[in-house]
């Protein structure tokens, strides 16, 4: 049994509520398309003979409209010599997603341009999607008290196109 530190008279932080607060503040979150692949269903682009896809994704997928928060980070930062403004090397993004999303590695995120208030009424056509990102790592951020997933932290890389 692990002893957990206690703080008398101090209530724990509800991370889900804190993240929802960040999402609700204007300019703190934005809408993206989350592409969830179903690895048990090959798409119509899948060629059984070669076991590869032609002119499209290998597996069938569904697109969802979700709100996320993202931050930029660089793996090549040198604390002794900070990176000058507007110069980013080896740029990657972190995405923060709600606990209900259940993301997985190799799913994709597409940026969309949406300037209206509230949730967009419809999912835009795929030709209107902006930059695409491959999910490379998924970290469920858990509550220290009971272990429930409060939100997900994703590492992504810009999707390479051929």
The domain over range 18-158 is classified in CATH as 2.60.40: no
Q: With 60 as the cut, is the pLDDT of residue 107 above it?
A: yes
Q: What is the spatial distance between Cα 113 and Cα 130, in angstroms, rounded to a whole number? A: 7
* Domain map (residue ranges) of the chain: 18-158
The values of phi and psi at residue 53, to 5°, are -100, 145
Over the stretch 38-93, which tens digit does the pLDDT of each residue have? Answer: 988 988 888 888 888 888 888 889 999 998 888 776 655 555 555 555 555 455 77
Strands 30-42 and 46-47, bridge-based pairing: unpaired
pTM: 0.76
**Per-residue pLDDT tens over the stretch 125-138:** 888 888 899 999 99
129: left (phi over 0), alpha (psi -120 to 50) or beta: beta
Give the Cβ contact number of residue 37 at 10 Å.
17
């Amino acid at each position: 049994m692990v002893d957990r530190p206690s703080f008398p008279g101090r209530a724990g932080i509800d991370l889900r509520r804190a993240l929802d607060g960040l999402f609700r503040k204007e300019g703190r979150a934005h809408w993206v398309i989350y592409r969830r692949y179903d690895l048990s269903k090959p798409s119509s682009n899948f060629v059984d003979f070669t076991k590869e896809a032609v002119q499209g994704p290998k597996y069938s997928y569904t697109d969802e409209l979700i709100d996320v928060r993202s931050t930029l980070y660089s793996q090549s930062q040198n604390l002794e010599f900070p990176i000058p403004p507007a110069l980013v090397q080896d740029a990657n993004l972190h995405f923060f997603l709600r606990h209900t999303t259940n993301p997985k590695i190799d799913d994709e995120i597409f940026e969309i341009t949406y300037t209206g208030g509230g949730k967009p009424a419809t999912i835009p056509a795929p030709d209107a999607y902006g930059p695409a990102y491959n999910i490379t790592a998924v970290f469920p951020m858990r509550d220290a008290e009971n272990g429930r997933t409060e939100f997900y932290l994703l590492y992504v890389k810009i999707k390479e196109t051929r």
